[in-house]
Amino acid sequence: MKILAVDVGGTQVKLLASGHSEPRAMPSGKTLTPARMVRAVKKLARDWDFDAVSIGFPGIAGLSGPASEPGNLGHGWVGFDFAAAFERPVKVANDAAMQALGSYDGGRMLFLGLGTGVGAALIAEKAIVPMELSELPWNKRAETIGDVLSSAGLKRIGARRWRRIVDLVTRRMMKAFLVDYVVIGGGNAKKLKKLPHGVRLGHNLTAFRGGFRLWGVEDVPMLSPDAPPQAREPIEWRLV
């Protein structure tokens, strides 16, 4: 089974088909509707063969697809028939959940995505639970975790203080959710220096691996160029 994984972001849409190693990308932004996204993705992937599609969506997603309109894209995502548009089966997941699945190595894991906003997902017992940790309060000034750890927060408070808060939030979340480890991804993860014990950075291609794993496709050689892929039994992942 060949899968096309599409990672929809606020500034770019990136895509990769299983069996290939070079992602392709296009701009997104406030004018990007789902219909425009599908047309552009089909054009970019016209020479790739794929049987099904995974979409990482930057917002709340349920079993029927997007459950809310994204603030940084165009309108029309809720209720859009992606399967009809792609003419193939489609699974839509929160983008942080899809990247979390691609980063998962067993046990109980918390994923934090540090980018324009703050995404999060918990994985345990074959279940993927998207989370809105950015809504949790941070200080007495009514700021939330999202306010201080987002790109806007990083710019406002400075990199040194931002790193300290990332460290503190990560340690607290490890204890609160009793996780075995934490993976930090997103565009701002590269700004971190020293990581707490039990925390590692995610790979920039893990969103695609998560998209493949949603359909039970496990082997992704390009993520481990120095070692052959290890065959595993397919797992039926459950998006909560």
Using DSSP, state whether 44 is helix, strand or coil. helix
Does domain 99-201 fall under CATH 3.30.420.40? My reply is yes
pTM value is: 0.86
| Chosen CATH of 3-95+207-235 out of 3.40.50.11540, 3.30.420.40, 3.30.1340.10, 3.40.1350.10 | 3.30.420.40
Task: Say whether 99-201 and 3-95+207-235 share the same fold.
Answer: yes
Q: Where are the beta strands (DSSP E) in the chain?
A: 3-8, 12-17, 24-27, 52-57, 61-62, 65-66, 90-94, 109-114, 118-124, 127-131, 181-185, 199-201, 238-239
Whether residue 114 contacts residue 189, with contact meaning beta carbons closer than 8 Å, is answered with: yes
Residue 41 to residue 13: CA distance in whole angstroms = 8
Q: How far apart are CA 71 and CA 236, in angstroms?
A: 31
Q: Could you report the per-residue pLDDT of 111-141, keeping only the tens digit for each? A: 999 988 899 999 998 889 999 999 999 988 8
95-116 pLDDT, tens digit each:
999 999 999 989 999 999 998 8
